[in-house]
Structures are given as C-alpha cells and as structure tokens.
Amino acid sequence: MIGGMLAVGMIICNCVASSSGEEDIVVVATRSDKTADQIPANVTVITSEDIKNAGHENVVEALENVGGIYIRSTSGSLAGSEVGMRGFGESSHGRVLVLLDGRRLNRPDMSTINWLQIPIANVDRIEVIRGGNSVLYGDHALAGVVNIVTKEGQINPESYVTLSGGSFGDLSVRLGTVGSLDKLSYSAQGESCQSEGYRDRSAYASSGVGIRMGYDVTESITLDFGMSGQMVSYEMPGQLTKEEMEADPKSANNLEDEADESYYNVDFNMDMSLAEGHRIGMNASFGLKDVVLDMTSWGMFNNQEMNTFRASPVYVADVTVAGMANSLLMGVDYYADILGLDRYMDVGRSGDPATARLTRNTIGAYLKDDLYLTKAMILGVGGRMETSRLDAKVVSGGVASVDDSKTHNVTAFDVSVVYAFENQSKLFAKTASIYRYPFVDEQVSYHGWGDNFDTMLEPEEGWTADVGANIGIGAKLNAGITVFFLQMRNEIAYAYDASMGVFRNQNLDETRRQGVEFDFAYFPISMLTVRGNYTYTDAEFSAGDNNGNDIPLVPESKASAGVEVKLPLGLSAIADATYIGKSYFGGDAANNGGQISEHTVVDILLRHKSDAVEGLELYVAVDNVFDEKYASYVYSGGGYSADAYYPSPGIAVRGGMSYRF
C-alpha cells in the first residue's frame, strides 16, 4: 500500500516527471490510472518539497505564482481568499472545484473557502488542472480543479517540527510524523498559527490536527481512513475608500466584525481488485462546519451549522476492445448538504431567532471511456447526468416567509484526443460542456432583507474547448501551452434588474472567454532552475446591453517568473516576481468606472541546510520586497456610494526553521 494506495472516488494515479527526475502522482486530472502524457490538459503539481523549499505558510501562498490562477481577498488574510481561473471575476471561487483528499471544500452557500482549515504541514501535494471537468466532478468544476492530497504513510518513518514567525505578529508551530508498521501506514500532523494581520482588525488564529491510516487487508483490498479538526477565528477589517487606502492602507472601518469557525471531517476509502483489469471502490466522507458570525456593520449575528455527506462508488475496467486497450470508468456521486442558520438582532443573541433550514440533495452518474487507438493516441469520451433538489424554509417571528423547493436537472459531456511522445511530451485537444448550480443563497434570500425563493434562477451552463501541447526535452526543459475558449450562458451575478427595479441575483446575458496559458521550467545546470508562466485572457459579454464590455475583475494578463539557485555551504536562494494587469472594478459590467491598477510583487527567500545537524534547515524571506501598494479587490459603488477598496499586504519579513528526524 505504501506509495500506491488507491483513494477511490478520486482514483489514483497520473504521473509526471518532476524537476528532480522522480515521478509525481497526479490524482485530479482523471479518476482512473493515467500518466500525465495521457491527460488532455497541462497539469501543475506542487509537492511538499516545493512547499518546504519555498517557505510557503499556507495553500494560498503555494498557489499565488501558478499560471492561470488569480487570488483576491477582502481581508488581506487567508480568511475569505478567492481562487479564480479562466476569466471568472466576481464569485470566481464558485467556478473552481477544490478537493481535499477527494472531499469537496466548496460549500453550497456563497461563502468562500477558509484556507486556514487546511494545515500546510499536512499537505503532501497540490495539483492544479485548468479547464472544465463537469463530467468527472459535476458542480463547481467549470474553470478548473485544485486537488489537495494529504500525507500518507511511507516505508521509512519520519517526524518533523517547524517554527516560523515574522511581520504582523505571525507565529506558526507545526509538527507531524509519517511511517508504517507492516500492512499499516499512518500519518499525523498538527499545527497552530496566529497573526495580527497586515491591516487593523485583520487578525486570525488557527489550530488543528489531522490523522490518516491505511491498511492492506489482502493483496487485493486496501482501506484508508482519515479524520481532522480545525478551529479558526478571524477579524474582518472591511472596505476603505480610495482616499482612505492612499492615506493608510492598514486602517479598518469595521471595528467589531469577526467570526469563529470549527471544522470536523471524516473520510473513508476502500479499493478492491476483482478479476484482472477490474476494480471497484468506495469513497465516503462527512463534514461539519460550525460558524458564529458577528457582522456588526451589517447588523448580522448568525449561528450557522453545515453538514455535508458524500458517497461515491466507482467501477474501473481496463480491458481490450477489438484488439485495442480500453479504460472504462463508471461511478455515482451522491451529496447531501444541510444548512441550518439562526439569525439574531444583536450580538448578545437575545430573543427568539429567525431560522433558515436548507437541504440540497444531489445525485449524478457519470461514465468516462478512453480508447487507445494506438499506443500513442487516446480517444476519450464521457458523459454525466445529474439532478439536484433544494428545499428551503425560512421562519421569522413564527411565520414562514419561505417554504419552497427547486430541482435542477443537468447533463454534461466531453470528448478528447491525446497523442503522446517520448519524454512525457504530448499534443491534446478537448471539448466539454460545463455547469454550476446556483449557490443556495443565490437561489434563496434568508438573511432578513426581503426573504424569498427565486425559482426563476437557473444553473450556469456553457461549453469549453482546449488545444495544447507539453514538450519535454530531456531533463533540461519542460514547457506547456494551452489555447482555450469558453462560452457561457445563464452566468449568475448580483446586478440591477431594470424590469423589476431592484438589485438581485440573476442569470446574465451570454459571456465569452478565450486566451492562452503558457508555462515552462528550465534546468540548464544542476544548481540552477528557471521557471515562468504567462496567461492572456480576453473575457467579455457577448450579448445584451453590455455586449463587448470586459467582464469585471478579470485582468487581461498575468505573468510570473522565478529562479532558484543552489549555493555553496548548504545555501539556496529563490526569487519570484508576479505581475497582474488591470481589470475593471467588481460590479461594473458597463465599464463606466475605474480599474484596479496593475501591480508587480517580488518575493525572495534564502534557505540554509545544515551540515552540522542532520535534518535541520533554516530560512529567511521577504515578501513584497518593494512594498507595492495595491488592492486585489475593488468593488464599484456605482455612483450610489464610494468605491470599496480592499488593500493587500505590504512588505513583510519572516523566518523559520524545520527539523526532520
């Protein structure tokens, strides 16, 4: 089982050559065994070693320089960071599926993923695939998928402890162990992190533990069990005007907005080999999220509980059809999301609360088949049928203001072809239909401002086409390029409805996105690595009153470049620079307002691997070296109020140590 455990419901394992020449396992791209040169996409893999060497303190930092990924935050901290791809601006987090060991982190409501719930010490690898994957994963996988794989047991036991700290009162302690005992593998990690935050009232604290155990019952049956818990608290500094940001980007306007969140998760995986070439498996998981939210600035004082259950049985058959190799994957995904909310009028939570109870049950069946026309050429076809029912009841003052339901039925397909060369090089093309269900709080208003159930709101749907190549030249160079096109209908946004004379969540006119993603890694000599990426995105409305206008919050260009140099005396240095181009303010579909300014952020890090103490490493880093002042998120006031700016952190110095034994 060690190093080869099948996490069914994702099912393992696609391999690409890493910079070290070793093989990396790619789980996210397909839910059956494929190597990277058989996948119709270019995949980015960030290993735990990459995370350690770069001194990343969290998953968001690890994703910031990845090609095609855009990150925005309204707090300047991890709480509420949005990860977007493929030209989606507002609520971009709803169009990127995020998996943790195959379990969705995307919630059915509009709240963003709290990345503090993922202890970075527990991460074995992060895999990023760009492009639609609705056939394999259903909801949210419109623009791409980010899969986070936690550490599992290994043959050689290892333990570690890391300490780090720096500007803004940052302090983190992490420890863990991985190993195996005969047929049993295990891993356990824990961490505690805290920060005062770059801005006033942007402090956060997080602590949690995670364990994973695997067991080889027989040569054909493996079991895997994991559980984790995380406690997170954070403050929300709120928006600033342009003048306030220019005067003091660290200031805050919301002096009492804050939240406490608790996460508890359990997952179970089973894989069973049947006759030669046939496998079945089951992935089941349960997640509980508790939130105590005090939004004094909005008059919102909520207690919320969300339960999510998932079961995903799957069958894989690797057989021969008409003399050609064929891989068939069939499965079912069932999700039950139950959200309960108690809404109070004051921070003391006095009186009887208004209540909201929302339940969404989703079941989908999918089929994916890959036929090897030749040893090098693979034709892939796939389809999914899915239905999702939302039931909602909102009671205020003893009266039910909402008591309704809505069922969405969707289908998706994809067709792909891959031609593989030596050195893990390939050409590929793929076309697919994609979709996303409305968030439950897009479909239902239950926060006290005109509670209602909008039965007219329909799922987002569209289709996408990708053509690309990946070229490997020995161990010296690896480069990938993808040209993409994405057409959407019924995209959902909060906008003014002239026919009703109100702002509401509504399906927009058609939108179109097209662009190019390019990345490379060059290893001219053993001591030097040069890497970079560039993403060009043309995102605009293609029908309606805003036809031809740019989609807000979507920069036309993003570019990153980095270099890593190994120096004498156990030293190594890393420098990264990331450029983000201009984009229109959020909410400004008419393109009448201002633009978020372009900006470039440079980070550097120096690491020392001790010869005197085996397993000891030290590092010091400077983030945003030139103290670039910018906002990753600005929302247009539309002439009714001042534009809302959310500043990003300035220069920061940090350092730390890790010891492995």
The whole-number average pLDDT for the span 410-426 is 92
Whole-angstrom Cα distance, residue 620 to residue 428?
Answer: 41
- Give the CA distances from residue 343 to residues 355, 358, 403, in Å, rounded to whole numbers and listed in that order: 6, 14, 17
Instruction: Judge contact between 645 and 585, C-beta under 8 A.
Output: no
Task: Please enumerate in sequence order all residues whose Cβ is within 8 A of that of 500, keeping only pairs 6 or more positions apart, or say none.
Answer: none
CA distances from 94 to 85, 109, 117, 130, 244 (A): 10, 9, 18, 15, 30
Integer Rg of the chain from CA: 24
Asked if pLDDT for residue 12 goes beyond 80, the answer is no
The Cα 348–Cα 215 span in angstroms is 48
Task: Say which residues have a Cβ less than 8 Å from residue 592's Cβ, sequence separation at least 6.
Answer: none
pLDDT of 30 reads 55
Q: What is the pLDDT of residue 447?
A: 86
Q: Are the CB atoms for 59 and 74 separated by under 8 Å?
A: no
pLDDT attached to residue 19: 39
DSSP 196: -
Average pLDDT over every residue of 148-154: 81
Which domain does 524 fall in, by range?
14-660
Q: Is the pLDDT of residue 150 over 90?
A: no
pLDDT at 78 exceeding the cut of 70: no
DSSP 102-122: TEE---SSSPPP-GGGS-GGG
Measure CA of the first residue to CA of the last residue in the chain; give whole Å.
23
HSE-up (13 A, CA, CB side) for residue 649: 25
Task: Show the tokens assigned to 658.
Answer: 């890790």
Q: Which helix H or strand E contains 61, and what residues bound it?
A: helix 59-63
Better pLDDT: 55 or 491: 491
Of all residues in the chain, the percent with pLDDT exceeding 70 is 93
Contact in structure between 301 and 321 (CB atoms under 8 Å): no
- d(CA 19, CA 474) in angstroms, rounded, equals 11
Residue 526 DSSP SS3: coil
4 is a domain residue: no
* Whether the Cβ atoms of residue 283 and residue 271 lie closer than 8 Å to each other: no
The whole-angstrom separation of Cα 8 and Cα 99 is 13
- Note whether residue 440 is domain-resident: yes
Q: Beta strands 616-623 and 69-72: pairing type?
A: unpaired
Give domain status of residue 3, yes or no: no
pTM beyond 0.85: the answer is yes
CA distance 50 to 65: 12
What burial class does residue 322 get, using C-beta atoms within 10 Å of its C-beta: 0-12 exposed, 13-18 middle, 19+ buried? exposed
Q: What is the pLDDT of residues 303-358, one digit of tens each?
A: 999 999 999 999 999 999 999 999 999 999 999 999 999 999 999 999 999 999 99
Q: For position 633, which CATH number holds? A: 2.40.170.20
Helix (H) or strand (E) holding 99: strand 96-100
Q: What is the reported pLDDT for 3?
A: 34
φ/ψ of residue 457, rounded to 5: -70, 125
CA-closest candidate to residue 356, choices 303, 279, 277: 303
DSSP letter assigned to residue 241: -
How far, in whole angstroms, is CA 200 from its chain's centroid?
A: 27
pLDDT the model gives residue 314: 94
pLDDT digits (tens, 9 = 90+) for 376-400: 999 999 999 999 999 999 999 889 9
Query: Residue 16 — pLDDT band, cuts 50, 70, 90?
Result: very low
The pLDDT value recorded for residue 153 is 75
Evaluate whether residue 244 is within a structural domain.
yes
Higher pLDDT, 407 or 53: 407
33 — pLDDT class (breaks 50, 70, 90): low
What pLDDT does 77 receive? Answer: 66
- The whole-number pLDDT of residue 275 equals 86
Whole-number pLDDT of residue 640: 76
- How far apart, in whole angstroms, are the C-alpha atoms of residue 28 and residue 13? 9
Task: For residue 9, tell me if it sits in a domain.
Answer: no
Number of domains making up the chain? 1
Instruction: Flag whether 6 is in a domain.
Output: no
Question: By C-alpha distance, which of 238, 200, 205, 233 is closest to 75?
Answer: 238
Name every residue whose Cβ is closer than 8 Å to that of residue 3 and which is 6 or more positions away in sequence. 154, 155
CA-to-CA separations, 476 to 480, 507, 520, 573, in angstroms, rounded: 14, 48, 11, 20
Does 2 map to a domain?
no
* Assigned domain for 54 exists: yes
Mean pLDDT computed over every residue of the chain: 89
Where b means 16+ CB within 10 Å and e means fewer, 373-408 reads eeeeebebebbbebebebbbbbbbeeeebbebebeb
Contact 443/459 with Cβ under 8 angstroms?
no
**DSSP alpha helix (H) spans, 407-522:** 440-443
Q: Which two tokens stand for residue 459?
A: 């799922």
- 8 near 268, Cβ under 8 Å? no
Those residues whose C-beta lies under 8 Å from the C-beta of residue 557, and which sit 6 or more positions away, are 534, 535, 536, 537, 579, 580, 581
